[in-house]
Structure 1
Amino acid sequence: MTAREPRLEIEYCTQCRWLLRAGWTAQELLTTFTTELGEVALVPGTGGVFDVRLGGETLWSRKERGGFPDLAVLKQLVRDRIAPDRDLGHSDRHRKAQPE
């Protein structure tokens, strides 16, 4: 069996018990990107990790950014790479309201 593309991975810390957060994040992304994502994988890790990768590119790292991603921001990061012309509705309002 081969992986479908694009593959999104959520690596979460098992020691911190972040499986539910990772699962909820995966559910939200799969609900938003029903046809654009080929696969979402939950990857167990340790040491406080919560990283989101798309096709090997790290979109979010809890250690680098100092916290968990806001879901609207994460959806924008994913969308910008797999469906740049897609409107995210209310998730885009925050970004569009900011002056450039």
Structure 2
Amino acid sequence: MATDKPRIVIHYCTQCHWLLRAAWLAQELLSTFADEVGEVALAPGRGGIFEIHCDGVLVWDRKRDEGFPQAAELKQKIRDLIAPDRPLGHSDRRNAETDSHARPSGSTSPQQGQEE
């Protein structure tokens, strides 16, 4: 069955026992992008690999990015590739930026002795 929807592959290290981490991120992506993604695949590897690709584009590399992605951060990166106009709700950095600018004045007054 052919699909024109994006394919995400999570390469994980079996020696490091990262299957559960990879599977958890896969279910997070499938839950969030159920209508936009055609497949999320888990690809076992070795040598400390933990990479996430979307249609061949490297989205996350544990070595390059110095660690594992937070689910919200990964969802933002995937969203930016496959559905840039789609809001992600509370985990969306664009909403967080908007919310921080929309605070009523006086709600974040500096503590005594601190300069603005």
Structure 1 length-normalised TM: 0.90
1:28 aligns with 2:46: no
- Structure 1 runs of 4+ with >6 Å offset: none
Return the structure number with greater relative CO, CA threshold 8 A, min gap 6: 1
Instruction: Give distance in 1, aligned partners of 2:5 and 2:45.
Output: 23
The structure with the largest alpha-carbon Rg is 2
1:71-82 correspondence to structure 2 within 5 Å: 71-82=71-82
Instruction: Give distance in 2, aligned partners of 1:36 and 1:5.
Output: 6
1:21-100 correspondence to structure 2 within 5 Å: 21-93=21-93, 96-97=96-97
The count of residues paired between Structure 1 and Structure 2 equals: 99
Structure 2 length-normalised TM: 0.78
Instruction: Give distance in 1, aligned partners of 2:87 and 2:55.
Output: 22
- 5+ residue gaps, structure 2: 101-116
Counting aligned pairs with the same residue, the percent is 58
- 5+ residue gaps, structure 1: none
- SS of residue in 2 equivalent to 1:51: strand
RMSD: 2.0
